[in-house]
Amino acid sequence: MNKQNAFNIFFRYLFLLILGLGNLFIFYVIFTPLTIYPVKFILSSFYSLELSGNSLIINGYTIQLIEACIAGAAYYLLTILNLATSMPLKKRLYSLSFSFTIFLFLNISRIVILSMLFVNNSAYFDFSHKFFWYGLSTIFVVAIWFLTVYKFKIENIPFYSDFLSLKKAIKKN
């Protein structure tokens, strides 16, 4: 391992730490509008609605899209998996964009489905909400990561490959 590779690892992990500061602020700044406006657009095809801040008002029901709905932590986890894996910059940017896009699409779909169940007083709303929250949220992220690994032919393992590279470099010296 040369100095450039060691600096690359150092700066990737430093960047991860910086992104995690401020309660994942950067992820919410970026993904809140990217989530809310498509949800509003899709639901407005079926209902008359108003948008007030992060709340959708549909037929007298208020659906507030809080940080947990935006899922900034899921985007951060995808970022961690990406940055903790050694790969060329171009592949990193494409794979990160791919994983974010897939997750954004799934998250918007989830919010639309749950909103429709809620507004229509479906008996399945509570079950579906808890099922998405506790069951599928982690599965979505893991499945997206594996799909990204497959699509972009990522051969390294997050954290572990970097650890082995550093260990090998230390033993060499």
Residue 91's domain comprises 3-172
Taken in order 41, 45, 46, 52, the sign of the CA dihedral is positive
Residues 6+ apart with CB under 8 A from 106: 140, 144
C-alpha closest to that of 133 among 55, 59, 41, 68: 68
| DSSP assignment of 46-101 | TS-EEEETTEEEETTEEEE--HHHHTHHHHHHHHHHHHTS---HHHHHHHHHHHHH
Q: Is the dihedral of CA 139, 145, 148, 152 positive or negative?
A: negative
- pLDDT at position 158 is 87
Q: Residue written as tokens 């639901």?
A: 43
d(CA 156, CA 11): 18
Provide the pLDDT for residue 1. Answer: 57
pTM value > 0.85: yes
Number of domains in the chain: 1
- Contact in structure between 135 and 110 (CB atoms under 8 Å): no
d(CA 38, CA 83): 28
pLDDT of residue 136: 83
Report the alpha-carbon distance of residue 157 to residue 21 in Å, rounded.
25
Enumerate the β-bridge partners of residue 63. Answer: 56
Q: Could you say which residues of the chain have pLDDT below 70?
A: 1-2, 173
State the chain's maximal CA–CA distance in angstroms: 69
pLDDT score for 170: 76
What pLDDT shows up at residue 168? 79
Question: Helices 89-119 and 72-83 sit at what angle, rounded to 10 degrees?
Answer: 160
pLDDT at 163 (0 to 100): 87
pLDDT digits (tens, 9 = 90+) for 19-61: 988 889 999 999 999 999 999 999 999 999 999 999 999 989 9
Percent of the chain whose pLDDT exceeds 90: 69
